[in-house]
């Protein structure tokens, strides 16, 4: 298949592009390097030293003989996006090209407006470009489990059948998103559903859980292919932060009680899910929703797991409860369905002690690059103008001599 990966230089996008390329698909990456720019803006960097995309793609070609096309530009620029779709003629587009951090969207008004405009306009542009230029192309859109919030009933996959006053209908599952970012994904979902109805587009919305892991079969072929490992308070995810904290012996920081329960999955399952969805497209006019995660954990569950495994590795760390910077339930019912991808053949990689060990080992390998000042939350949901740090706690040597302090691969 011809598959375009929008946002293919990012964390999920890069792993997906390599995986699909390795499976023999013709892959193109569409990216404007916004994700790298946000690191510059925030004064943070991925724990793993990622290479420029051109170098990544060259190494991939040298190692495998497979070529991944590259289109550099912004999906919010319609002329660029349309010319790219017309030129590449994809059978499927996988749309990762959005601002995906909840804290980033909550920094202040400009970041909230940017997040919603960027995500909504990019997605609208994609819908129009597919309708006008490739109407049979399957749109695979990354949503988030965070669109649902934490209702006091089971979360279904996109739709729920409601009986009410003696009548019945199957309707979109009610959404209660918890940040301007999560809201942008809800806006996208509604927009896509509408265009499937009026234009007969085919789309699958993947409400993905929190992804962990850096290693896939493809990225471990060479140090130059290494994927991101974000542990900072804005773009980092909770499991990565805990691993980085364990690696340098600082307490694992749990927001509030830690009863916040979410769906999680291994990045190796992300890439496999995308492949399964590409191989089993939605019908014309169908707006299909899958919940893409494999296990539920509370934040405190994860902290205890990391603490235990770190202890076995000789790393003694405590757990510290911070005031929750987010407005969210710290203890709640949570039972989200996730059978549709399993029905298509997904065999999950569950979170095990050995996997946690490997995640902590990656953090240890790059521990000289860990900046502990970026662990602490500085974006408070209750404020409209969060002043963020710009001074790093890393020594100048660490900042400016990364190549020297990074251990060699292998």
Of the candidates 23, 51, 66, 131, which one interacts with a second copy according to CB under 8 A? 131
Report the 3 state secondary structure along the chain: CEEEEECCCCHHHHHHHHHHHHCCCEEEEEECCHHHHHHHHHCCCCCCCCCCHHHHHHHHHHHHCCCCEEEECCCCCHHHHHHHHHHHCCCEEEECCCCCCHHHHCCEHHHHHHHHHHHHHHHHHHHHHHHHHCCCCEEEEEEEHHHCCCCCCCECCCEEEEEECCEEEEEECCCCCCCHHHHHHHHHHHHHHHHHHHHCCEEEEEEECEEECCCCCCHHHCHHHCCCCCCCCCCCCHHHHHHHHHHHCCCEEEECCCCCEEEEEEHHHHHHHHHHHHHCCCCCCCEEEEEECCEEEEHHHHHHHHHHHHHHCCCCCCEEEECCCCCCCCCCCCCECCCHHHHHCCCCCCCCHHHHHHHHHHHHHCHHHCCHHHCCCCCCCCCCECCCCCCCCCCHHHHHCHHHHCCCCC
Of the candidates 55, 61, 86, 194, which one interacts with a second copy according to CB under 8 A? 194
- Return the number of the residue (161 or 354) whose C-beta is nearest a second copy: 161
Total length of the chain? 410
Q: Residue 183, interface with a second copy (CB under 8 A)? A: yes
Selected range binding a second copy among 33-41, 46-54, 176-184, 243-251, rule: CB under 8 A: 176-184
Strands 295-298, 261-266: pairing kind: antiparallel
For this structure, is 23 an active site residue?
no
Instruction: Tell me which residues in 300-359 interact with a second copy (CB under 8 A).
Output: 327, 333
Instruction: Tell me which residues in 65-84 interact with a second copy (CB under 8 A).
Output: 78
Of the candidates 55, 132, 343, 397, which one interacts with a second copy according to CB under 8 A? 132
For this structure, is 366 an active site residue?
no
- Return the number of the residue (333 or 400) whose C-beta is nearest a second copy: 333
Window 355-384: contact mask with a second copy (x via CB under 8 A): --------------------------xx-x
For this structure, is 294 an active site residue?
no
| Least distance CB 187 / a second copy (angstroms) | 4
Of the candidates 37, 52, 86, 109, which one interacts with a second copy according to CB under 8 A? 109
- Return the number of the residue (10 or 178) whose C-beta is nearest a second copy: 178
Q: Residue 153, interface with a second copy (CB under 8 A)? A: yes
Q: Residue 121, interface with a second copy (CB under 8 A)? A: yes
- Return the number of the residue (190 or 284) whose C-beta is nearest a second copy: 190
Selected range binding a second copy among 194-202, 294-302, 361-369, 400-408, rule: CB under 8 A: 194-202
- Which member of 84, 144, 253, 294 is catalytic? 144
- Return the number of the residue (78 or 255) whose C-beta is nearest a second copy: 78
Selected range binding a second copy among 27-35, 48-56, 91-99, 182-190, rule: CB under 8 A: 182-190
> What distance in Å separates the CA atoms of residue 28 and residue 276, rounded to the nearest whole number?
18
Query: Up-side HSE of residue 41: CA atoms within 13 Å toward CB?
Result: 12
Of the candidates 35, 175, 268, 272, which one interacts with a second copy according to CB under 8 A? 175
* Residue ranges binding a second copy (CB under 8 A): 78, 109, 112-113, 116-117, 120-121, 124-125, 128, 131-132, 151-154, 160, 162-165, 167-169, 171-180, 183, 186-187, 190-191, 193-194, 197-199, 327, 333, 381-382, 384-385
- Where in the sequence numbering do the catalytic residues fall? 144, 181, 185
């Amino acid at each position: 298949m011809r598959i375009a990966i929008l946002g293919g230089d990012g964390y999920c996008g890069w792993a997906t592009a390599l995986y699909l390329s390795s499976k023999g698909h013709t892959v193109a990456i569409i990216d404007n390097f916004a994700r790298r720019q946000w690191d510059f803006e925030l004064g943070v960097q991925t724990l793993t030293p990622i290479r420029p995309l051109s170098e990544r793609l060259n190494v991939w070609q040298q190692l495998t003989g497979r070529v991944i096309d590259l289109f550099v530009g912004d999906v919010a620029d319609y002329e660029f996006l349309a010319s790219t779709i017309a030129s590449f003629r994809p059978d499927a587009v996988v749309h990762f090209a959005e601002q995906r951090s909840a804290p980033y969207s909550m920094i202040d008004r400009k970041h909230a407006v940017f997040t919603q405009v960027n995500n909504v306009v990019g997605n609208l542009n994609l819908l129009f470009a597919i309708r006008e230029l490739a109407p049979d192309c399957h749109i695979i859109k990354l949503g988030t489990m965070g669109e649902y919030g934490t209702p006091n009933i089971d979360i279904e996959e996109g739709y729920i059948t409601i009986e009410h006053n003696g009548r019945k209908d199957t309707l979109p599952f009610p959404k209660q998103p918890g940040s301007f970012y999560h809201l942008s994904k809800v806006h996208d979902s509604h927009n896509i559903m509408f265009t499937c109805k009026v234009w007969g587009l085919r789309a699958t919305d993947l409400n993905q859980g929190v992804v962990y892991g850096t290693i896939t079969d493809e990225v471990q072929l060479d140090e130059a292919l290494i994927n991101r490992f974000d542990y900072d308070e804005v773009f980092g995810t909770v499991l990565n932060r805990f691993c980085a904290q364990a690696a340098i012996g600082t307490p694992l920081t749990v927001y509030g009680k830690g009863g916040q329960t979410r769906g999680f999955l291994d990045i190796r399952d992300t890439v496999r899910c995308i492949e399964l969805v590409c191989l089993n497209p939605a019908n014309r006019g169908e707006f299909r929703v899958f919940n893409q995660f494999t296990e539920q954990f509370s934040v405190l569950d994860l902290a205890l797991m990391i603490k235990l495994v770190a202890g076995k590795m000789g790393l003694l760390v405590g757990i510290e409860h911070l005031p929750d910077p987010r407005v969210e339930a710290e203890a709640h019912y949570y039972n989200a369905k996730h059978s549709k991808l399993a029905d298509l053949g997904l065999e999950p990689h569950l979170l095990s002690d050995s996997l946690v060990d490997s995640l902590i080992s990656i953090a240890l390998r790059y521990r000289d690059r860990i900046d502990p000042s970026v662990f602490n939350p500085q974006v408070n949901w209750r404020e409209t103008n969060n002043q963020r740090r710009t001074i790093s706690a890393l020594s100048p040597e660490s900042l400016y001599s990364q190549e020297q302090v990074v251990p060699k691969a292998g």
